[in-house]
Structure 1
Amino acid sequence: MIRTLLLLLLTLLIAVTASLHLGVHIYGPATVWQALFGGADGSSEIIIRTLRLPRTLNAILTGAALSLSGLFMQAVTRNPLAEPGLLGVNAGAAFAVACGLVLLGVVSIAGIGLLAIAGALAAAALVFGLSGALGPAAGPTGILLVGVTVTAMLASLTQLFLLIDETALETLLFWLSGGFADRPLALLWIGLGALFIAFIGAAALATSIDALQLDDQSASGIGVDVARTRLSALTLSALLSAGAVAMSGPVAFLGLIAPHITRRLMPMRPGFLALALLAMLTGAIIAVLADILARLIVAPGEAPIGAVLAFVGVPFLIHLLRAKRMRGVNV
C-alpha cells in the first residue's frame, strides 16, 4: 500500500512537471521555474502561469473527483461497468446548460458551470427518486437502469432545445466536448469542496461499503444499513460528478477506467478508504497525461479530451465486457 502510494505520487509529480513544460511551445526547466516563482511577465511566463498551471490543476481535481465517483458507484452497485454518467449527471448538466443558453441567454463559463451543477444534482435526485419507487426488488443494478433511462430522456430534450435555438449550438458544443483549458479558476473551489466532502464521506462509509462487497443479506446480518449506505455513497458520487462537470464539462470514461486500473496496481485488495485514496491519484494522473496528449497529437491545434480518453476507455470497456462474458456473469 505505501509503496503503491509513493509510486503514484511520484508519477503524478512527473506528469504535472511534464504538463507545465510541454505543449505547442516546449519550455525548459529554467523558464518554468522563473514563470512560477520569479514573477516575470514575458510571454512564456504568462502562458505557463495563466494557461498551463490552471489547466493542470483542473485536470488533477477533475480526474480525482471522477475516479472517486466511479469507485463509489462500482462498489455499492457491485457492477464493474458503473460510471458517473450512468446516474444521469452528465445528461442533466447538459440539459440545464441548454435551458440556460436558450431561455436565459447565459453564455459565460462561470454561469454555465453553475447551471451544470444544478442540472447534475437535479438529475441525480430524479434517478434516486425513481429507483426508490421501484423498491428493494430492483436490486443494486436497478438504479443503473433508471439512470440510463433518465439519461436518454434528458439527452432527447437537450436536442430539442438546440433545434429551437441553433445559435446556442456552438457554445454548448464547446462545453459538451469537455476539457481542462480556458475554465475559470473560481470553479476549482467547487470541485475541491466536493472532493473534500466526498473523501470525508468515504472515511465514514468505508466499513459499511467493505461489507457490501459480500451481498445485501450478509451485510444486513452484520448490522449494515444497506439502503442508507448505498444512497449515501451514490449521493457523494453525484456530488463529485457535478463538481467535475462544472469544472470541465462532461469527461467520459475516467470514472470507469481509473478505479479498475487502481485495483490492478494492488497485489492484495485494500479496504475501501485506501482504495479511494489511490483511485484519486490514479484518476489525476490519467487526466493530466490525457491533457498533455490532447495538446500534442494534433498540434498546433488541440484534440478534445473526450476523444483522447476514448482511445483508452473504449478498448478497456470492451475488455471488461469480454471478461464478464467469459466468466458467465451478467452485468
Structure 2
Amino acid sequence: MKRSLLLLLLTLLVAVIASLHLGVHVYGPATVWSTFASGGDSMHDIIIRTLRLPRTLNAVLTGAALSLSGLFMQAVTRNPLAEPGLLGVNAGAAFAVAGGLALFGALSITSIGVLAIAGALAAAALVFGLSGALGPETGPTGILLVGVTVAAMLAALTQLILLLDETALETLLFWLSGGFADRPLPLLWIGGGALLIAVAGAAFLAPSIDALRLDDHSASGIGVNVVRTRLVALTLAAVLSAGAVAMSGPVTFIGLIAPHIARRLTAKRPGFAALAVLTMLTGAIIAVFADILARLIVAPGEAPIGAVLAFVGVPFLIHLLRAKRLREVGV
C-alpha cells in the first residue's frame, strides 16, 4: 500500500511538471522555474501561469472527483461497470445547465454549479429508481442498461435545446465537448468543495461500504443500514460528478478506469478508505496525461479530451464486459 501510494504521488508530480512544460510551445525547466520565481509578464510567463497551470489544476481535481465518484458507484452497486458517464449522471448535469441557460439567459458561476448538482442528483435518482423498479432479475448489468438509456435521452434533449437556442449553443458548445482548458478559475472552487465534502463522506462511510462487500442480509446483520449507506454514497457520487461537470463539462471513462487500476496496484485487498486515496490519485494522473496528449497529438490544434479518453476507455470497457461474461460461463 505504501509503495503504491508513493509511486502514484511521484507519477502525479511528474505529470503535473510535464503539463507545465509541454504543449504547442515546449518550455525548458529554467523557463518554467523563472515564471513562478520572478512573476514576470512575458508571453511564456502568461502561457504557463494563466493557461497551463489552471488547466492542470482543473485536470487534477476533475480526475480525482470522477474517479472517486466511480468508486462509490462500483462499491455500493457491486457493479464493476458503474461509472458517472455511463449511468447518466454527467448527462443530467449537462442537461440541467443547458436548460437553465436557455430559460434564464446568462448564468453566474454559482448558478452553473447549482444547476449541475441538481441535474446530476435528478439523473442519479431516475437511473437507480428505474433499475430498482425493474427488480433484481435484470441482472448486474441492468443498471448499466438503464443508465445508458437515460444518458442517451438526456443527451438528445440537450442537443434539442442547443438547436432551438442559438445563444445557448454558442455559449455551451465548447463546454459540452469536455476539456480542461479555458475554464473559469472560480469553477475550481465548486469542484474542489464537492471533492472535499466527498472525501469526508468517504472516510465516514468507509466501514459501512466495506461491510457491503458481503451480501445485504449479512451487512444488515452486523448493524449496517444498507439503504442509507447506498443513498448517501450515491448522493456523494452525484455531487462529485456534478462538480466535475461544472469545472470541465461532461468527461467520461475516468470514473470507470481509475478504480480498477487502483485495485490492481496492491497485492492485498485494501479497505474502501485506502482504495479511495489510490483511486483519486490514479484518476488525477489519467486526466493530466490525457490533457497533455490532447495538446500534442493534433498540434498546433487540440483534440477533444473525450476522444483521447475514449481510446483507452472503450477497449477497457470491452475488456471488463468480456471478463465478466467469461466468469459467468465459468471459463
TM-score, normalised relative to structure 2? 0.92
Deviates most, 236-245 or 170-179: 170-179
Match of 2:67 in 1: 67
Cα-Cα RMSD: 2.3
- Tell me the distance in 2 between the aligned counterparts of 1:173 and 1:273: 37
Q: CA deviation at 1:189?
A: 0.9
Contact kept in structure 2, 1:87 and 1:238, CA below 8 Å: no
Contact kept in structure 1, 2:94 and 2:245, CA below 8 Å: no
Deviates most, 243-252 or 218-227: 218-227
Contact kept in structure 2, 1:191 and 1:240, CA below 8 Å: yes
- Tell me the distance in 1 between the aligned counterparts of 2:329 and 2:208: 24
Match of 2:198 in 1: 198
In the alignment of these two chains, the number of paired residues is: 330
- Tell me the distance in 1 between the aligned counterparts of 2:23 and 2:30: 16
- Tell me the distance in 1 between the aligned counterparts of 2:192 and 2:180: 15
Q: CA deviation at 1:162?
A: 2.9
Match of 1:168 in 2: 168
Match of 2:236 in 1: 236
Match of 2:282 in 1: 282
* Residues 120 and 226 of structure 1, relative CA distance in 2, 3 Å threshold: same
Deviates most, 196-205 or 84-93: 84-93
Contact kept in structure 1, 2:81 and 2:144, CA below 8 Å: no
Identity, % of aligned positions: 83
Q: CA deviation at 1:160?
A: 2.7
* Residues 117 and 37 of structure 1, relative CA distance in 2, 3 Å threshold: farther
Q: Spell out, residue by residue over 1:59-89, the C-alpha distance to the aligned partner (whole angstroms, 9 max, x if none).
A: 0000000000000000111111000124422
Contact kept in structure 2, 1:110 and 1:184, CA below 8 Å: no
- Tell me the distance in 2 between the aligned counterparts of 1:133 and 1:180: 37
Q: CA deviation at 1:149?
A: 4.1
Give structure 1 stretches of 5+ with no counterpart: none
Q: Spell out, residue by residue over 1:235-256, the C-alpha distance to the aligned partner (whole angstroms, 9 max, x if none).
A: 1100100000000000010000
Asked if residue 293 in structure 1 is aligned to residue 293 in structure 2, the reply is yes
Contact kept in structure 2, 1:109 and 1:183, CA below 8 Å: no
Contact kept in structure 1, 2:22 and 2:292, CA below 8 Å: yes
* Residues 225 and 143 of structure 1, relative CA distance in 2, 3 Å threshold: farther
Q: CA deviation at 1:139?
A: 8.4
Match of 1:119 in 2: 119
Match of 2:99 in 1: 99
Asked if residue 49 in structure 1 is aligned to residue 55 in structure 2, the reply is no
- Tell me the distance in 2 between the aligned counterparts of 1:137 and 1:233: 23
Match of 1:215 in 2: 215
Contact kept in structure 2, 1:253 and 1:310, CA below 8 Å: yes
Deviates most, 259-268 or 91-100: 91-100
- Tell me the distance in 2 between the aligned counterparts of 1:125 and 1:79: 17
Match of 1:324 in 2: 324
Q: SS where residue 232 of structure 1 aligns?
A: helix
Q: CA deviation at 1:230?
A: 0.8
TM-score, normalised relative to structure 1? 0.92
Q: CA deviation at 1:325?
A: 1.0
Give structure 2 stretches of 5+ with no counterpart: none
Runs of 4+ that moved beyond 6 A: 107-110, 132-142
Contact kept in structure 2, 1:77 and 1:141, CA below 8 Å: no
Contact kept in structure 1, 2:296 and 2:302, CA below 8 Å: yes
Q: SS where residue 303 of structure 2 aligns?
A: coil
Contact kept in structure 2, 1:76 and 1:209, CA below 8 Å: yes
The amino acid that maps onto 1:162 is L
* Residues 24 and 111 of structure 1, relative CA distance in 2, 3 Å threshold: farther
